[in-house]
């Protein structure tokens, strides 16, 4: 056995975990720069809880609520200037993967300690050393990866995810499932994280009936957030694979949500991997389904009407995807023609 395991995120999970653990914030610094999206943190209670916790311990803060989905790298440079001018010595990211990844990008250069508060159940960004940014210059998304952007603390309160639309809930759940599956199948997967991956897949599998009905009980929200956190720990070690490499151009050029973009290619990726790996069966077994084809049927129901790609788009996205660094994690190692075929099969009607 040989592995490397590193998970430096002090993690709190549960109802009211931010206010209950206000005492954690003075450990991070003396003034906070809060990075969040346009509006959801106001509505789901997370921002109010952070303000209350900071007030409890007399920590001043500045709020930067301009983060849009799929943050662009130049915007992050401007935000980092605001952070530096504010005099803050730590960053609090509140929101979905976009504000969390923005918080990491803003903190990166100094680097500053980060507290991460997810309000979607999908990216697992609170547990990863990655910040996925949009780079208009290369017309794609790209991941920055460095241990200094591991959040120092993460607070996961499932109550914040209650306000998610059904669409974002489904798309982010598919992202988490994709992380667990890709991490499990990655060449970098380890004995430590494989059980996390299978547990995450099992838990998300249990939520599929509600995901299909697009109606969620509170304990399902909790399960999805926990599963997404586990999947984050998995990709922090094992990385993602061809699915994410293929999803990025779909998001950049076709404006398809990140989780949905992964979901659109996941079935044909599994068909590709299954040819050489018995591990795919572990995934369908733990979900209690008959095989990859039944998995494809579930995805079809979750995704509904699929987008179309032109031949030219398939050619361009194939070239982009095959250059992705996570292609190296994929086994069997795909050739350009394999990636093209996965795109073609995924978008064939």
Interface with ligand NAP (CB under 6 A): 37-40, 44, 69-70, 95-99, 101, 119-120, 122-125, 128, 130-132, 141, 160-161, 163-164, 168, 172, 175, 258-259
- From 8-16, 168-176, 307-315, 338-346, give the range in contact with Fe ion by CB under 5 A: 168-176
Q: Which is nearer to Fe ion, 97 or 113 (CB)?
A: 97
Q: At what angle do helices 292-303 and 166-185 cross, to 10 degrees?
A: 150
Q: Shortest approach of Fe ion to residue 327 CB, angstroms?
A: 15
Q: Is 126 in the site for Fe ion (CB under 5 A)?
A: no
CB under 5 to 8 A by kind: which of ligand NAP, Fe ion, none does 239 bind? none
Q: Is 257 in the site for Fe ion (CB under 5 A)?
A: no
Helix, strand or coil, per DSSP, at residue 63: strand
Q: Could you tell me the end-to-end alpha-carbon distance of the chain, in angstroms, rounded to an integer?
A: 45
Q: Shortest approach of ligand NAP to residue 40 CB, angstroms?
A: 3
Q: Which is nearer to Fe ion, 146 or 337 (CB)?
A: 146
Q: How far apart are CA 340 and CA 208, in angstroms?
A: 29
- Cα-Cα-Cα-Cα torsion 283, 221, 68, 139, nearest 10 degrees, comes to 10
**Residue 344: CA count within 13 A, CB half-sphere:** 10
Residue 138 burial (CB count, 10 A): 12
Is 10 within 8 Å of 85 (Cβ atoms)?
no
- Helix, strand, coil proportions of the chain in percent (round to 5)? 60, 15, 30
Q: Which is nearer to Fe ion, 100 or 292 (CB)?
A: 100
Q: Shortest approach of ligand NAP to residue 109 CB, angstroms?
A: 17
Q: Is 175 in the site for Fe ion (CB under 5 A)?
A: yes
Closest-by-Cβ residue to ligand NAP is: 37
Q: Is 101 in the site for Fe ion (CB under 5 A)?
A: no
| Preceding amide of 111 cis, omega within 30 | yes
In degrees rounded to 5, what are phi and psi of residue 87?
80, 10
CB under 5 to 8 A by kind: which of ligand NAP, Fe ion, none does 200 bind? none
Q: Shortest approach of Fe ion to residue 244 CB, angstroms?
A: 6
CB under 5 to 8 A by kind: which of Fe ion, ligand NAP, none does 69 bind? ligand NAP
Residues that bind Fe ion (CB under 5 A): 175
């Amino acid at each position: 056995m040989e592995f490397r395991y590193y998970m430096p995120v002090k993690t709190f999970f549960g109802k009211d975990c931010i206010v209950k653990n206000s005492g954690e914030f003075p450990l991070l610094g003396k003034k906070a720069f809060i990075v969040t999206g346009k509006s959801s943190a106001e509505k789901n209670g997370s921002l109010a809880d952070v303000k209350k916790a900071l007030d409890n311990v007399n920590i001043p803060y500045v709020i930067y609520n301009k983060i849009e989905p799929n943050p662009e790298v130049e915007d992050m440079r401007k935000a980092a200037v605001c952070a530096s001018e504010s005099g803050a010595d730590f960053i609090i990211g509140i929101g979905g993967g976009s504000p969390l990844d923005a918080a990491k990008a803003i903190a990166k250069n100094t680097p500053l300690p980060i507290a991460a508060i997810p309000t979607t159940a999908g990216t697992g960004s609170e547990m990863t050393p990655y910040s996925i940014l949009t780079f208009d210059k290369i017309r794609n998304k790209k991941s920055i990866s460095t241990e200094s952007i591991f959040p120092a603390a993460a607070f996961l309160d499932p109550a914040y995810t209650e306000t998610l639309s059904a669409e974002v809930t489904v798309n982010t759940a598919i992202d988490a499932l994709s992380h667990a599956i890709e991490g499990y199948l990655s060449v970098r997967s380890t004995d430590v994280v494989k059980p996390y991956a299978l547990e995450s897949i099992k838990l998300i599998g249990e939520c599929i009936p509600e995901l299909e009905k697009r109606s969620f009980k509170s304990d399902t929200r909790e399960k999805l957030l926990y599963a997404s956190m586990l999947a984050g720990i998995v990709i922090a070690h094992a990385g993602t694979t061809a699915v994410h490499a293929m999803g990025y151009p779909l998001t950049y050029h076709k404006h398809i949500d990140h989780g949905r973009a992964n979901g659109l290619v996941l079935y044909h990726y599994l068909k590709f991997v299954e040819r050489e790996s018995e591990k795919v069966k572990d995934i369908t077994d733990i979900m209690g389904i008959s095989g990859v084809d039944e998995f494809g049927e579930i995805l079809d129901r979750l995704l509904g009407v699929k987008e179309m790609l032109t031949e030219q788009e398939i050619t361009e996205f194939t070239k982009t995807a095959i250059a992705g660094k996570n292609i190296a994690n994929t086994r069997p190692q795909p050739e350009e023609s394999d990636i093209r075929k996965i795109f073609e099969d995924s978008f064939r009607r």
